[in-house]
């Protein structure tokens, strides 16, 4: 259970090194965009676009929302449609910063990091005092695997933080840059991000992922508890905490959290898989089979679910025959991510959102 759950589910909770930037419209607007990016993580791109369009009807100048729109269209194989819209807007106004952010998202989602970089440079020229613009630029630069460009990325992100010391996404991106060489510094940035917006999905995901990677489970659970005080129905917080509890053998507590997720989202595939695994560890194999049958009805090609159902079915047979079944924890070899693995937390977004924020 330990290795299977941590591998199969935590991989779906971490978004990559490029974190989407926000405007100064925190609070309600950021909560709405959290909903959009959560839907993207789950692969529900059409629904994410609908929610985003409703958001943009009242926040037409929100720079981050246009970046997200570009990502959604690119990942939905609607790149050409989005690019046509961008070109039409720029033909009317070459200084349309929303259109430029839109194209950055399209290019990143289409795997064109170099072109995205050039466009992000236009953004900072047009908006030299915008923390959002510098964070976009720094995020795009972070996609380049080059030491010199990495230095530029750090400088851009530091510029964003200098403009707005509480810019959550710049703080997260800056923490991501520090991670390989100075985890302690990375943690300081990530904790600043969580303090700046305690309910932020991106900030909390980044910090809990770091703590779990360092086997600091108790501290990670504290972060999850604070996150859930801010957002009691957060699917990612509930599922993430459930994974850690399961890893400690607290299967009943973990199951309670997962059932909370499924009450609100009965078709949530990662939660269904986790529930099946927990039921199996609780020696309730027939219930596990039933849950996994539901999951396989949603996705008949889910090989991990099929393997777990087979294990549960064997446990049912063993129970009928009166012989104990030997459990062999299975390590997941795939990540249930709606987005291409190479782009996916571009490095939630941009690895599960965009599936690995880290």
Please report the pLDDT score of residue 33 as a whole number: 84
Confidence band of 27 (pLDDT split at 50, 70, 90) = low
The predicted-structure confidence for 72-82, as pLDDT tens digits, reads as follows: 999 999 999 99
Cα–Cα dist 187/181, whole Å: 12
Please report the pLDDT score of residue 319 as a whole number: 83
For residue 77, what are its two tokens?
Answer: 């194989």
Closest CA to 12 of 304, 311, 309: 304
pLDDT at 320 > cutoff 50: yes
pLDDT at 327 > cutoff 60: no
pLDDT at 333 > cutoff 70: no
Across 82-100, average pLDDT? 98
pLDDT at 349 > cutoff 70: no
pLDDT at 23 > cutoff 80: no
Confidence band of 325 (pLDDT split at 50, 70, 90) = low
> Cβ neighbours of residue 195 under 8 Å, at least 6 residues apart?
none
Backbone angles phi, psi at 336, to 5 degrees: -80, 70
The predicted-structure confidence for 133-177, as pLDDT tens digits, reads as follows: 999 999 999 998 787 888 999 999 999 999 999 999 999 999 999
Under DSSP, the state recorded for 5 is: H
> Cβ neighbours of residue 154 under 8 Å, at least 6 residues apart?
138, 174, 177
Locate tokens 């985003």: which residue? Answer: 52
Higher-confidence residue of 93 and 323: namely: 93
Cα–Cα dist 34/262, whole Å: 19
> Cβ neighbours of residue 105 under 8 Å, at least 6 residues apart?
66, 67, 68, 69, 70, 71, 72, 73, 74
Across 118-142, average pLDDT? 96
Across 233-240, average pLDDT? 92
pLDDT at 311 > cutoff 60: yes
Q: Which domains does the chain have, with CATH numbers?
A: 2-321 (1.25.40.10)
Q: 16 in the Ramachandran plot: left (φ > 0), alpha (ψ -120 to 50) or beta?
A: beta
Cα–Cα dist 237/134, whole Å: 29
Please report the pLDDT score of residue 44 as a whole number: 87
Angle (nearest 5°) at CA 348 between 346 and 353: 75
Please report the pLDDT score of residue 148 as a whole number: 82
Q: Look at the pTM and tell me if it is higher than 0.85.
A: no
The predicted-structure confidence for 265-286, as pLDDT tens digits, reads as follows: 999 999 999 999 999 999 999 9
Confidence band of 42 (pLDDT split at 50, 70, 90) = confident
Confidence band of 2 (pLDDT split at 50, 70, 90) = very low
Higher-confidence residue of 353 and 102: namely: 102
Please report the pLDDT score of residue 147 as a whole number: 78
DSSP, residue by residue, 58-69: H-TT-HHHHHHH
The percent of residues above 70 in pLDDT, for the chain, comes to 82
């Amino acid at each position: 259970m330990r290795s299977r759950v941590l591998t199969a589910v935590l991989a779906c909770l971490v978004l990559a090194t490029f974190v989407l930037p926000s405007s100064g419209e925190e609070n309600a607007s950021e909560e709405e965009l959290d909903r959009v990016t959560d839907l993207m993580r789950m692969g529900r791109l059409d629904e994410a676009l609908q929610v985003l369009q409703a958001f943009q009807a009242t926040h037409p100048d929100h720079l981050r929302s246009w970046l997200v729109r570009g990502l959604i269209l690119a990942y939905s194989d609607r790149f050409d449609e989005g690019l046509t819209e961008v070109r039409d807007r720029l033909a009317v106004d070459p200084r349309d910063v929303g259109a430029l952010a839109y194209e950055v998202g399209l290019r990143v989602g289409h795997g064109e990091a170099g072109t995205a970089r050039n466009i992000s440079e236009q953004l900072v020229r047009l908006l030299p005092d915008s923390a959002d613009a510098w964070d976009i630029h720094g995020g795009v630069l972070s996609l380049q695997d080059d030491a010199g460009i990495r230095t530029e990325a750090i400088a851009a992100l530091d510029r964003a933080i200098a403009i707005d010391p509480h810019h959550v996404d710049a703080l997260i991106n800056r923490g991501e840059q520090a991670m390989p060489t100075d985890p302690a510094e990375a943690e300081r940035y990530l904790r600043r991000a969580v303090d700046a917006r305690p309910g932020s999905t991106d900030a909390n995901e980044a910090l809990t992922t770091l703590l779990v990677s360092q086997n600091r489970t108790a501290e990670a659970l504290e972060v999850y508890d604070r996150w859930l005080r801010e957002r009691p129905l957060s699917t990612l917080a509930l599922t993430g905490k459930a994974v850690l509890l399961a890893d400690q053998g607290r299967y009943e507590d973990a199951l309670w959290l997962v059932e909370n997720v499924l009450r609100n989202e009965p078709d949530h595939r990662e939660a269904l898989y986790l529930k099946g695994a927990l039921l199996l560890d609780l020696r309730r194999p027939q219930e596990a089979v039933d849950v996994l049958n539901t999951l396989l009805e949603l996705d008949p090609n889910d090989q991990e679910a099929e393997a777990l159902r087979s294990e549960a079915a064997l446990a049912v047979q063993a129970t009928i025959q009166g012989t104990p079944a030997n459990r062999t924890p299975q390590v997941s070899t795939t990540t249930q991510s709606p987005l291409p693995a190479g782009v996916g937390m571009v490095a939630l977004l941009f690895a599960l959102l965009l599936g690995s924020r880290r």
